[in-house]
Every structure is written in structure tokens, then in C-alpha cells.
Structure 1
Amino acid sequence: MQTLDENILSRLQQSAPENCTILPGSTPVIAFGWFRTAEIATISLNPSYKEFDLVKGKNRFHTLDSLGLHSYADIKAEHGEQIIDYCERYFERDVVYKDWFNRMTTFIKNSTGYDYYEGTACHLDLSQWATNDIWGKLSHVQQKDLVSTGDIELLGEIIKHGKFHTLFLNGKKISMEIFHFFGVQPKKVLLRQTTKIDGKIKNKVEGFISTTSSIAGVEIGREITLIGWNTYVKYAGADVLNLISKWIKEELGKANVAQL
């Protein structure tokens, strides 16, 4: 049986699937932050191509060029260590893609007390490949091909070998896709019905929750909680974020009581 490091190296050596708009020369993004010790994780579909933009002359993540390599098959253990180092220290290297992470950081910390920057939270993706096209513009065939290089299996192994007790899914599209690929059926919780207040329409707010001890066939060895919601944190108003945050706190409180 392979160790987590061996699983990661095997994944890094996989060639990029064709016709999926993989950013040329980009390496798989294993995680954002300290994935071995974080207690909660946010999960999205795949990294943005913007994660491979230079920031003040620095790479956010390694590329084949920055490693001096010609192909993924050339990645050896020492290159894997360099790739993982950039992943683990993402929030410490002054390269954070703030347009995405800053509001999420505030929301997660306010809702749970966990923090990307303190290393108690990290971010993971369903597929580790960065693509030029966003997930929604990829066909179903491309989406399946994107995770065909061992992505979901590696995600399961990372969760299995980590210390995670809760995973958070940001937005309805992301939540439904991840629940589907994980093979988990969530329960929907109505947090607010569509209503009109002071002449303004307030959209419905829903939460999605489930527990599982298996992800895409990978037995985790413990039960973890998956929590999602139907709005995107980056664009949500304070009233919506407060509703979701209150619900998350209640659910985590129930989970803590159940463990006593």
C-alpha cells in the first residue's frame, strides 16, 4: 500500500489529459495550505488559471519550466517536495490570489474559528489541474477526463490521511458537483424562503449537509461532515452570509455534542 507521499508523486507524474484546456506546463495543485494538519477544508472544482500568474515576479506554484523539466514523467521525489512546499506555504509566501481567498477567509474564520493563514484550514479541489476554461464551460466528457488522472482518488487519500472533520462547499453548482463525484446524497435545509423586504426581493437561501466515511470509494476510516450552501460567498450580501454562518455554527455545535 502506497504512502500519501507516494500517492502524491504518482499523481504528479500523470500526463495532462488532452482537450481539457489544461494550462500548458502547469503542475497539479495538490492543496492550498497545510493539508496534513488542517482540521477543516474548503473544496472547489479545480484551480483557477490565474493561480499561475506571476506575483511580484514570484510563482504561486511551480511549473515544469520553473523545475527545469520537460514532462510530467520527469518529476522525481525531489521535484515533488518542491511542488508540495509551494502548496503548503501558499498562505505564507505573499502570493495569495486575494480576489478569491480574502472574503472566503473572513467568512470561514467567522463561521468556524479556523483560518487558512493560521494553518488550521486549507483549500482543496476536486481536480488538481488548472484550466484556461472554467469548469462550467467544460463539457461533461472534459470534466470526467479532468479527474481521470487520479484526482478524486488523491483527494480522498489526502482527506483520509489528514485531520479533517468538516469539508465546506461554496455555492450550489460546486456543492452538487462535489456531492455527485463523491457519491454522497446531501440533505437540503431551507435557511430562508424567497421573500420581499422593503420592496426588495431576498432570494432563497439553502444549505446542504451530509456525513460520510467514504469518498469516491476511498474509505476514510472516520466520519466527516460535508456542508455546502446555494450562494457564492464572494458575491453574497451580509444578510445571506450571516444566515449561513449561524447555521454552520449550529451544525458544528451539534457535531461536537454528538462526539462527547
Structure 2
Amino acid sequence: MRTEIHPVNLDPNRHPPMYSSMARLLELLVTQTRESTVISWAGPVPFFGDLSSAKVATVGINPSNLEFVTNDGVELDQEARRLHTLRSLGISSWDAADGTHVRALVRTCERYFTRNPYRRWFDVLERSMAPSGYSYYPLGERRMCHLDLVPFATSEKWAYLPPANRRALVDQGREAMAELIRDSPLEFLILNGRSVVTEFETFAGVRLDAHLRDDWSLPRRDGSQVEGMLYTGQIDRLGSIEFERSVQVIGYNHNLQSSFGVTSTAMRAIGEYVGDQIASATNSKACRPTPV
């Protein structure tokens, strides 16, 4: 039997489509099995930050378990809490969630960077994007947000999950992400690392163009180099959901948070490239003649 979230105050004429997307993700969360390794008491996180005003989104695979727990596995609480859980919402299971809980989950996603963001992870991307002028934080003039292909945190690291589990979770996240992109002002997706690029290609059913970038290469101790790779493309749909516009996709092979020896020079070069591409696209759009 399919579990349904109580549709209290989820009238589509009164609330953004993201509320409906969140409600469907809660339905999926109720059906997760122990084998999926999804942290069942942690709320879905389809986006981080102010999606409604962002032109640019960085993209990862799925939320870290450290969004919800300490390094010792204890649930974050009070001022340390980043996102909602069953405990923080005062309910015993997700099928008890109603419209009030759905709105609370959406608000914590929207306000993520004004509370207690996981800076050890996000500030690396923030620094890399600094040359572009885009920021996650409210003081930035040009706002960006973050999306994950899979909106559920898992107790095991993504790389250690069985391939069948990864595929199932990616399939579950596609519709929600497609709806969020469609209903947002997003124009650019920035893929953080080769594993994200690989998952995104499967997720979107596309093959991105690969380009060697010498200025993104990383030196090794033995004198050799880890090549820097750029991936580019565009999408105008995900699955059956069309965007009615093209969204530019830019990726790089280095995972900036975990790749050994990522230099500030390479990080800045990546940020400058992304900034140049965004500026070029913006200028090109501004110069287009207005249809008569």
C-alpha cells in the first residue's frame, strides 16, 4: 500500500511546486529498506540555499551524514542542527508528516546557509567559485545554491554502496531534481568531481564533452601530473520533464574536497573559467535582439 503525506495546506495555487516535490520525497523515504542504507530519520534535502534566486548551482551526489550527526554518530541538536529530522519535527514517522512539516523541511533547505552550514565541505566550493563572483551566503550579490542528485543522506559513503543501491537512489532523485530545475531560474550546473560527472551523465542520459585543461593539472610528488579535465554540455530536460530552456553544464574531474594535492592555483583557474563562461552567456543573452 502506498503511503501518502497528508496534503494539508499543499494547494498548488498557494505554495511553490517544491512543496509537492518535498511531499513526494517523504513518500519515498517511508518506503526505504534497511538495505538502502538511507538514514531513515533524516529529512530529504533536495537543495541547499535560496534556489528561488540562484542562477548557478553546484552539484554533488548526496548529502553527507555529517549534515545530521557528529563525527561520533550523535544526532546534531539545538544550535548545531543543520536540517530537520523526525526528532526535530516532533513526529515518530514520516507518514505522520503533514503540510506544516513539509513547509518546515523546505524552509530549512532554503535557509541552510544562514544557520550552521557544513563549512568544511561547502567553503571549499565557495573559495573555488570566488573568482566568478557567486556565493552561497546571503551577503553575496550573486547567489548560488547546491543540488544533490540523490536527496537522501546514507549511513555508508556513496562509493561503498552496492551498484544496484546507487542506481535505485539515483532513479528516485531524478524527478524531484528535474522539477526543481524546471521551476527555478537556474542557468548553470557546476559538477564537482569526476564521480559526480559520471553519475550525472547516467542521471541525465547525456554524454558531456571532455576537454584537457593544462592549467587545471595537479603536480605529484614523483614529478608527474594528474591531468585536469573539463566537461561541458547542456540539458533542456531530465527524463520526461522539460525545462523550456537550456541549462549549461560545466564539470571538472578533481573532487575539490578530497582530491590529494588540489592547489590554490588550479582551484582559482577552475573558478575563473566558470566565471568567464557565466559572464559570456549573460552578455550574449543581453545582446540578443528583442522579438518584435
Q: TM-score, normalised by structure 2?
A: 0.81
Q: Does 1:22 align with 2:48?
A: no
* One-letter identity of the residue aligned with 2:36: C
What is the correspondence of 1:1-260 to structure 2 with a 5 Å cutoff? 3-14=17-28, 15-18=30-33, 19-53=35-69, 54=76, 57-93=79-115, 95-110=116-131, 112-118=132-138, 120-149=143-172, 151-192=173-214, 200-234=223-257, 235=259, 236-259=262-285, 260=287
Secondary structure, counterpart of 1:13 in structure 2? helix
* One-letter identity of the residue aligned with 1:49: N
CA RMSD of aligned residues (A): 2.3
Is the CA contact (8 Å cut-off) linking 1:13 and 1:75 kept in structure 2? no
Offset from partner CA, 1:71-95 (integer Å, 9 cap, x none): 22221110011111111111101x1
* One-letter identity of the residue aligned with 2:274: I
Residue 55 and residue 82 in structure 1: after superposition, are their counterparts in 2 closer, same or farther (change >3 A)? same
Residue 199 and residue 72 in structure 1: after superposition, are their counterparts in 2 closer, same or farther (change >3 A)? closer
Secondary structure, counterpart of 2:246 in structure 1? strand
Residue 30 and residue 197 in structure 1: after superposition, are their counterparts in 2 closer, same or farther (change >3 A)? closer
Whichever of the two has the greater Rg, that structure is 2
Secondary structure, counterpart of 1:26 in structure 2? coil
Shift of 1:221: 1.1
5+ residue gaps, structure 1, are: none
Secondary structure, counterpart of 1:41 in structure 2? strand
Is the CA contact (8 Å cut-off) linking 1:191 and 1:244 kept in structure 2? no
- The 1-side partners of 2:249 and 2:184 are apart by 15
- The 2-side partners of 1:208 and 1:172 are apart by 9
- The 1-side partners of 2:183 and 2:190 are apart by 18
Offset from partner CA, 1:189-230 (integer Å, 9 cap, x none): 111187979973232111000011112332011111010001
- The 2-side partners of 1:191 and 1:179 are apart by 20
Is the CA contact (8 Å cut-off) linking 1:33 and 1:121 kept in structure 2? yes
Q: TM-score, normalised by structure 1?
A: 0.90
Residue identity over aligned pairs, in percent, reads 27
